[in-house]
DNA sequence: GGTGAAAAGAGGGTTCT
DNA sequence: AGAACCCTCTTTTCACC
């Protein structure tokens, strides 16, 4: 199931799809220098072996009315593995929490939270996050603006022309 | 050019494409309950008005050999707007920096950094980030694991989003 | 990996409400 | 205006070499 090795073409495919996840298979094949059918076979294999976890439209949060993005640093009272997992599970059920990373050091988790407005965020913070079991401390930092937002991983793909359909 | 208002169907389209950015237009049309051509027109309008900023494959960083994800809290010596912008510009040219958010409070920026290994990260930190102009302090937190990774915005629960059918 | 062909989807034009 | 039906061209996705 898991592919043992990726060659240059696979890496190029991944880089291109990370940049433009909706490009057609024929365009992709042309870009990486092979014909469409083997290209599609590679993409399917990359999907099934888990190298590609999914495809997502990147939406503009602000213009859609989600004007509050906050990073929350969370400390837990107990760091037993079962308690860490329990917190992650709980956080997974909170739609406003978009990302959750476990950290080393004094802070246990960093959460990226997206809300429509301050009221929604405050309500979430005081009624859901802070009172959650085992939560010892929550320190929040509001984002003022986003200076860079690149997906995934630094493949180092050269700048690409817009789509040709 | 810029759409003034989004109706329920537009919101459903955005939610579906955020979840599966590669679904075909006919599938999407079926899901939101309209026929394919107007559905495609809506998608194009959403792209051109900036509600959809792009489409990206979500790749598995670890299995691709990017084993180090770090959050860096950066403080600048000068917070003049021109200096903030200059820092953002500089960071935009650093491939290892995937996201950069300006924050309120004592920390000025939070950066998400992805590297292949510790050596690559250390080299980046000591040779690129810390010596960058105007950087006063850098505090890094290594991630141990990722507990949740959802794209974009919490459409999921409808605060008032009705169901068209 | 490439080739050729059947099936499916994209995108344009027109009509209807 | 905006949505739906029809039509043609492109893309996807098989078969097999």
User: Higher model confidence: residue B90 or residue B4?
Assistant: B90
CATH number, domain with residue A101: 3.30.70.920
Q: Based on the domain organization, do B128 and B87 belong to the same domain? A: yes
B72 and B138 in a single domain? The answer is yes
Which residue of A51, A148, A150, A157 to mutate against B (max B Cβ within 10 Å)?
A: A148
- pTM metric for this prediction: 0.90
Interface of B with A in 106-145 (CB under 8 A): 107, 109-110, 114-115, 141-145
The pLDDT of residue A124: 98
Q: Are residues A68 and A132 in the same domain?
A: yes
> Do both B70 and B122 map to the same domain?
yes
User: A43 and A75 share a domain?
Assistant: no
Asked if residue B56 is part of any domain, the answer here is no
Note whether A104 and A43 are same-domain residues: no
Q: Domain residues for A18?
A: 8-49
Asked whether residue A147 is domain-assigned, the answer is no
pLDDT of residue A81: 93
Structure tokens at A15: 């880089």
Check whether residue A83 and residue A126 sit in a common domain: yes
Confidence of residue A3 (pLDDT cuts 50, 70, 90): low
Are residues A72 and A34 part of one domain?
no
- Domains identified in chain A, total number: 2
Provide, as residue numbers in chain B, all residues whose Cβ is less than 8 Å from the Cβ of A106.
none
Q: What is the pLDDT of residue A137?
A: 96
pLDDT band of residue B6 (cuts 50, 70, 90) is confident
Residue A162 has pLDDT above 60, yes or no: no
Q: Alpha-carbon distance A97 to B34, whole Å? A: 31
| φ, ψ (nearest 5 deg) of residue B43 | -60, -45
pLDDT band at residue B165 under the 50/70/90 scheme: very low
Residues B84 and B23 in one domain: no
SS3 per residue for chain B: CCCCCCCHHHHHHHHHHHHCCCCCHHHHHHHHCCCHHHHHHHHHHHHHCCCEEEEEEEECCHHHCCCEEEEEEEEECCCCHHHHHHHHHHHHCCCCEEEEEEECCCCCEEEEEEECCHHHHHHHHHHHHCCCCCEEEEEEEEEEEEEEECCCCCCCCCCCCCCCC
- Cα atoms found within 13 Å of the Cα of residue B127, Cβ hemisphere only: 8
Same domain, residue pair A29 and A99: no
CB contact under 8 A, B114 and A55: no
Question: What digits encode the pLDDT tens for the residues A63-99?
Answer: 999 999 999 999 999 999 999 999 999 999 999 999 9
Q: Are residues B75 and B138 in the same domain?
A: yes
Among partner residues A17, A59, A100, which is closest to B57 by beta-carbon distance? A17
Residues contacting nucleic strand C by the 7 Å CB criterion are A 7, 9, 34-38, 42, 165; B 24-27, 36-37, 40
The model's pLDDT over B31-88, given as tens digits with 9 standing for 90+, comes to: 999 999 999 999 999 999 999 999 999 999 999 999 999 999 999 999 999 999 999 9
pLDDT of residue B4: 56
The yes-or-no verdict on residue A2 having pLDDT over 90 is no
Asked if residue B68 is part of any domain, the answer here is yes
Residue B106, pLDDT score: 77
Residue-level pLDDT at B85: 96
* Chain A residues near residue B20 by CB distance under 8 angstroms: 54-56
Question: Is B148 a member of any domain?
Answer: no
**pLDDT band at A14; cut points 50, 70, 90:** very high
For residue A14, the domain's CATH number is: 1.10.10.10
Same domain, A134 and A67: yes
- Summarised one tens digit per residue, pLDDT across range A116-126 is 999 999 999 99
Q: What is the mean pLDDT of chain A?
A: 91
How far apart are alpha carbons B118 and B102 in whole angstroms? 25
Render pLDDT for B72-129 as a digit per residue (tens, 0 to 9). 999 999 999 999 999 999 999 999 999 999 999 878 999 999 999 999 999 999 999 9
Residue B46 near residue B61 (C-beta atoms within 8 A): no
pLDDT-derived band at A110, boundaries 50, 70, 90: very high
Distance between CA B19 and CA B27 in Å, rounded? 13
Buried-exposed string B72-90: b where 16+ CB fall within 10 A, e elsewhere: bbbbbeeeeeeebebbbeb
Rounded to whole angstroms, how far apart are CA atoms B86 and B73? 17
């Amino acid at each position: 199931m898991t592919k043992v090795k990726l060659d240059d073409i696979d890496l190029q495919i991944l880089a291109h799809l990370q940049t433009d996840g909706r490009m057609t298979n024929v365009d992709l094949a042309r870009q990486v220098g092979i014909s469409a059918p083997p290209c599609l076979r590679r993409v399917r294999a990359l999907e099934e072996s888990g190298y590609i976890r999914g495809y997502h439209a990147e939406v503009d949060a602000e213009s859609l009315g989600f004007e509050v993005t906050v990073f929350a640093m969370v400390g837990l009272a107990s760091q037993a593995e079962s308690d860490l997992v329990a917190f992650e599970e709980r956080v997974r059920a909170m739609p406003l929490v978009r990302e959750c990373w476990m950290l080393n050091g004094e802070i246990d988790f960093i959460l990226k939270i997206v809300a429509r407005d301050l009221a929604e965020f405050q309500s979430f913070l005081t009624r859901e996050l802070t009172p959650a079991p085992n939560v010892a401390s929550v320190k929040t930092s509001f984002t003022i603006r986003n200076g860079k937002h690149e997906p995934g991983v630094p493949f180092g793909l050269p700048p690409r022309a817009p789509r040709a359909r």
